[in-house]
Amino acid sequence: MTHSAAAHEFQRDPARAAWHDQTLWMVRAKRDRMAARVPEWEQLREAASQIKEHTLSKLADYLEQFADTAAANGIHVHWAADGDEHNRTVHSILKKHGARKLVKSKSMLTEECHLNPHLEKHGIEVIDTDLGERIVQFQKMPPSHIVMPAIHLKRAEVGEVFHEHLGTPSGLDDPQQLTEAARQHLRSHFLTADAALTGVNFAVAETGGFVVCTNEGNADMGAHLAPVHIASMGIEKIIPRQAHLGVFLRLLARSATGQPSTVFSSHFLKPRPGQEMHIVIVDNGRSRQLARSDYRKSLACIRCAACFNTCPVYRRSGGYSYSYFISGPIGSILAPNVDKAAHASMPFASTLCGSCTAVCPVKIDIHTQLLKWRQDITAAGHAPWWKKAAMHTTAFVVRRPALFRLGGWFMRRTTPLLNLLRLDPWTQSRDLPPAPAQTFRQWHNQQSNKK
């Protein structure tokens, strides 16, 4: 299903669509207020952008430095070319230790690699311990948002999910009581897990350590209790020095949720005595994106989702209208790198207003890359026939002034009829504005005659 078709399904519930829009805009507004309190906000964004640009230019060197230093710290380092190799590597570690239960904190990389179904196929129980992730796991659905996985659900719906799976009273929608039920449910899994898996927000080449940022402490609970800690990391998570962390940690939570910082910023340098620690470093198409000069900067993304919260299309269409596990503007420039044909509609799910670029903490030129992907997808023959026909027709008309003027004359007289007939998606939900009595050409000629 294309994005536009899936978005149409989401819009069938106008009240939910409006609530989703307003909720995410509230998060965007919190981000703005928090950024305004930091006088050097733009300098931080520029510093983060330059650090990432430098790192990407020497990515292989920093990855080797990180791997060598991490190994010297006692961490087992694994390399995975793609998602399948990542899954096999994680499974082999768990199999070696006879693990039957894995507690997992939020990791979009494992969503990308489809780790959960792979492990479940081999008889390993996977418990997502992030509250939002656990809710959508109960529903057997992927996250709809990379920071707030269950943002599409209302409290009453969460209450019904918990009633079905945790046995809470039917109709319970008190956030504190629902959270307490989840806490008690997850605590038993933390205490009985054979292994824990976390993502990686930042990996420091200088020290061989990595940082995991959470608000719930679930990554710490898992990693500190389990005898085996596995961290899954994309190759783009590298930063050169420990001193650079401060720049990104000041930007991340403010951009993501409007907080000064995440509640927990956990630093892992080496395994504790008696524990085994592994890190799996994954490519899965990132090197291909790095080689594309127009799109390489997308690898600077720190997964804050600020572009989601500001995007008028995402807010009004929901995360499940996108065909890739990362939705929103950043997903729309990452997905075509994976499969241009399968995700051909995603770069068109944008107004190109530039709001995503304006809020990006690492200054990725998202709206420019969206436009470039549209051109590449069309050139590759993956755009819908009607879109190509419309563009060819437009080009034909605008190159012929007389035809252009005739078209303008016709549209000015048929606008009321178009609003009445509601033949296209635009006029089905809004009215075309009334045409001005005077065209720009008429106005320009009038002004010229006055002179």
**Tens-place pLDDT, residues 40-66:** 999 999 999 999 999 999 999 999 999
State the Cα–Cα distance between residues 401 and 398, nearest whole angstrom: 6
Residues, the chain:
451
* Nearest one of 69, 83, 85, 130 to 103, comparing CA atoms: 130
**Which amino acid is located at 288 in the chain?**
R
Strand partners, 232: 280
Residue-level pLDDT at 403: 94
Burial 187-220 (b: 16+ CB within 10 A, else e): eebbeebbbbbbbbbbbbbebbbbbbbbbbebbb
**Which amino acid is located at 299 in the chain?**
L
Instruction: Per-residue pLDDT tens, the chain, 451 aa: give them.
Output: 899 999 999 999 999 999 999 999 999 999 999 999 999 999 999 999 999 999 999 999 999 999 999 999 999 999 999 999 999 999 999 999 999 999 999 999 999 999 999 999 999 999 999 999 999 999 999 999 999 999 999 999 999 999 999 999 999 999 999 999 999 999 999 999 999 999 999 999 999 999 999 999 999 999 999 999 999 999 999 999 999 999 999 999 999 999 999 999 999 999 999 999 999 999 999 999 999 999 999 999 999 999 999 999 999 999 999 999 999 999 999 999 999 999 999 999 999 999 999 999 999 999 999 999 999 999 999 988 888 898 899 999 999 999 999 998 998 888 888 777 777 777 777 787 888 888 898 899 999 888 7
Residue-level pLDDT at 436: 85
**Tens-place pLDDT, residues 417-450:** 877 777 777 777 778 788 888 889 889 999 988 8
**Tens-place pLDDT, residues 117-144:** 999 999 999 999 999 999 999 999 999 9
State the Cα–Cα distance between residues 375 and 265, nearest whole angstrom: 40
Asked if 99 and 230 touch (Cβ cutoff 8 Å), the reply is no
**Phi-psi label, residue 74: left if phi above 0, alpha if psi -120 to 50, beta otherwise:** left
Asked if 119 and 208 touch (Cβ cutoff 8 Å), the reply is no
Residue-level pLDDT at 5: 92
Has domain 41-284 been given CATH number 1.20.120.1810?
no
C-alpha distances (whole Å) from 225 to each of 54, 216, 220, 229, 274 are 37, 16, 8, 9, 11
Asked if 334 and 326 touch (Cβ cutoff 8 Å), the reply is yes
State the Cα–Cα distance between residues 337 and 294, nearest whole angstrom: 11
Please return the burial class of 307, using the count of CB atoms within 10 Å of its CB with bins 0-12, 13-18 and 19+. buried
State the Cα–Cα distance between residues 75 and 232, nearest whole angstrom: 13
Asked if 208 and 69 touch (Cβ cutoff 8 Å), the reply is yes
* Nearest one of 299, 274, 266 to 285, comparing CA atoms: 299
Radius of gyration over every alpha carbon of the chain, rounded to an integer in angstroms:
25
Please return the burial class of 119, using the count of CB atoms within 10 Å of its CB with bins 0-12, 13-18 and 19+. buried
Asked if 244 and 72 touch (Cβ cutoff 8 Å), the reply is no
Q: Beta-carbon neighbour count of residue 92 at 10 Å? A: 10
Residue-level pLDDT at 387: 85
Residue-level pLDDT at 383: 87
Which sequence spans correspond to the domains of the chain? Answer: 1-37+303-383, 41-284, 388-449
**Which amino acid is located at 386 in the chain?**
W
* Nearest one of 56, 54, 36 to 46, comparing CA atoms: 54
